[in-house]
Structure 1
Amino acid sequence: METKDYIESGILELYVYGLLSETENDEVTAMAFKHPEVKEEIIAIEKAIVNLSSSFSPFLSHSQFEKIKTRLELKHGKVVDLKTRNNWSTYIGWAASVALLIGIGLQYSKLNENNNQIKIIEEQKSKLQETVVTLENKNKSTETVLNVIRDENNTVITLGGQAAAPNAKAKIYWNQQTQVVYVDASGLPEPPKGKVYQIWSLKLKPALTPTSIGLLTNFEASTSKVFAVDKTSGAEAFGITLEPAGGSAAPTMEQLYTLGKV
């Protein structure tokens, strides 16, 4: 085999990596001794491995690196012994392991980054869904208010302020056919903590007879301040009192906020 073909066969790389048998090693050593170009190619391969290993090994000191390079140089016409090549195989494996660990670390970091992005997207999606639900509820509330105001079958009763709250006011929308009642309480102040507004359907004759038709619960949470209460029939007046939370069996007249006749 010609020297050029021998070099290009790949056997010199296997020799440097320490992957040949003892017989094959002896053959390469003989070729290196006989042919200077084979010897030079072996040196070139070993130097390339040194450079590759140093690029992957940031913890290898300069003095250690120089010692290793010196041992790899051919002296007295002899090729570096098999032990040195095997050591370099170890270094190459170590460098590859470091590169693999770095790659795994980068992939793990990327995975965490992706997981964080997914979490942020999920949170944004949840907030968006909450916003949509809130807007839908507001739209329904607005639609209900508009329907109540526009319903020509509703009798509108204006309730004026009384001694307990002279500036208070409210409106009752009462459909006498369906007996459905809505209260527009936008003219009432926010009730104190532990108190609630109670709506009364009143009959004035032969004697004043109040009937509770509901409480304006969650007053502060309502944006429209329009509340649906219980149905009623035969009402001659409506009144709103301020009562303890949970309501009262009879109206507290000292806390009568608004009153209006049908």
Structure 2
Amino acid sequence: MNIKDYIASGILEALVLGDLTASEEQEVRAMIDQYPELKVELSNIEQDFEHLAQATASKPTISFDDILGGIYKDNIPTASSGLDQPKLEEKTDDFDKKYYISRISRYRTMAMAASFAALVASALALNYYNSAQESKGALAALESERQEYAQNYDMVKQRLNGLESDLEVIDNPSSQRIILGGTESAPDALAYAYWDNSSDDLYLSIQNLKELADNQQYQLWAIIDGKPVDAGVFDWNADGLVKMKTFSQGVELFAVTIEPRGGSEGPSLETMQVAGAPGSKS
């Protein structure tokens, strides 16, 4: 099973939102127990929605309609008049692209909600200030809350920018995608390398690599003239594209091994997880 494709389907988000039937939920949880990568992704989704819920939580002292009325007066926007979620049109069957498009859509929605929450908090602070009905302490608390909403928005926006940057690399016509398939010691392992023909930048996308101990890291090697050259280390749970070292030409093979944290001078060949040969570089 392709883990990225399963995540991109949105079924984990549906699980968190409670949109699955009992049998569907049982099936999804069985998959989560089987694949540690799904458990990590589910935890990330739950944290994302928890942050979103905290950022958009309403206060009992003032109704949501009162807040909207104070901001927009007689022109309260509806779902059909400007608050529609942005939709991304998928034009590819590539699993990696679908995964990033799915996550970008989710973070764009979260960014809109966090931004709106910050706007609501600002309106509340202004309302209390103008009416002078609350103490300075209450006003300070509202200002602190507004700053927290702004920080949540910045966090979501930063993740969104990272995902969009990754998608640009994947969708770049100059990028050569190299499939790094599993070896005899790890037949189900999989990773993609993206090598830019014009900038020589090299990125790695983890598809299915096993969890490592805290004192271990994965290390990417470039085989040049039959000799392994260090291309950088990364953690097993690295999210998104991982920027590796730059190579211009002459690479015969890319391979990933398990090494002590910080990397090794030479590869431990018996721990090789994935390997793949690039095409000719123009």
Instruction: State the match for 1:98 in structure 2.
Output: none
Q: Distance in 1 between matches of 2:174 and 2:211?
A: 30
Which of 176, 189, 208 is the aligned partner of 2:197?
Answer: 176
Give 1:188's aligned residue.
Answer: 209
Cα deviation for residue 183 of structure 1 reads 0.6
Task: Find 1:248's aligned residue among 248, 253, 264.
Answer: 264
Which residue of 204, 213, 220 maps to 1:199? Answer: 220
Give SS of 2:189's match.
coil
1:166 equivalent in structure 2 = 187
Report how far residue 119 of structure 1 moved: 4.3
Identify the match of residue 215 of structure 1 among 222, 233, 246: 233
- Give yes or no for the alignment of 1:230 onto 2:245: yes
* Partner Cα separation in structure 2 for residue 214 and residue 227 of structure 1: 10
Query: Given residue 212 of structure 1, which amino acid in structure 2 is its aligned partner?
Result: D
* Aligned equivalent of 2:49: none
Which 5+ residue runs of structure 1 have no aligned equivalent? 1-110
- For residue 211 of structure 1, what is the amino acid of its counterpart? V
- What corresponds to 1:120 in structure 2? 141
SS in 2 for 1:185: strand
SS at structure 2 position matched to 1:166: strand
How has the CA–CA distance of structure 1 residues 194 and 149 changed in structure 2, closer, same or farther, with 3 Å as cutoff?
A: same
In the aligned structure 2, how far is the partner of 1:127 from the partner of 1:186?
34
The within-5 A match list for 1:64-143 is 114-143=135-164
Q: CA deviation at 1:138?
A: 1.1
Cα deviation 1:68-106 (Å, max 9, x = unaligned) = xxxxxxxxxxxxxxxxxxxxxxxxxxxxxxxxxxxxxxx
Question: How high is the TM-score relative to the length of structure 1?
Answer: 0.51
Deviation at 1:165, TM superposition (A): 2.1
Letter in 2 for 1:166: P
* Partner amino acid, structure 1, of 2:229: T
Q: Distance in 1 between matches of 2:243 and 2:268?
A: 22
The size of the alignment, in residue pairs, is: 145
Q: Residues 166, 114 of structure 1: CA spacing in aligned structure 2 closer, same or farther, 3 A cutoff?
A: farther
Residue type of the alignment partner of 1:195: Q
Structure 2 residue identity aligned to 1:209: K
Unaligned runs of 5+ in 2: 1-131
Question: For the residues of structure 2 that align with 1:223 and 1:123, how far apart are their CA atoms?
Answer: 31
Distance of aligned partners of 1:120 and 1:209 in 2 relative to their CA distance in 1, 3 Å threshold:
same
Partner of 1:261: 277
Alignment correspondent of 2:170:
149
Q: Point out the structure with max Rg over C-alpha.
A: 1
Contact 2:189 2:207 in 1 (8 A): no
**Alpha-carbon separation, structure 2, partners of 1:136 and 1:196:** 29
Runs of 4+ aligned structure 1 residues displaced above 3 Å come to none
Q: Percent identity?
A: 25
Match of 1:28 in 2: none
What TM-score comes out, normalization by structure 2 length?
A: 0.47
Q: Which amino acid aligns with 1:238?
A: F
Taking only aligned residues, the RMSD between alpha carbons, in angstroms, comes to 2.1
Q: In 2 relative to 1, CA 115–165 (structure 1 residues): closer, same or farther, beyond 3 Å?
A: farther
Instruction: Provide the rounded CA distance (Å) in 2 between the counterparts of 1:122 and 1:234.
Output: 57
Amino acid at match of 2:139: I
| Inter-partner Cα distance in structure 2 for 1:237 and 1:228 | 18
Call closer, same or farther: CA 1:194–1:230 in 2, change over 3 Å. Answer: same
Change (3 A) 1:115 1:167: farther
Change (3 A) 1:123 1:212: same
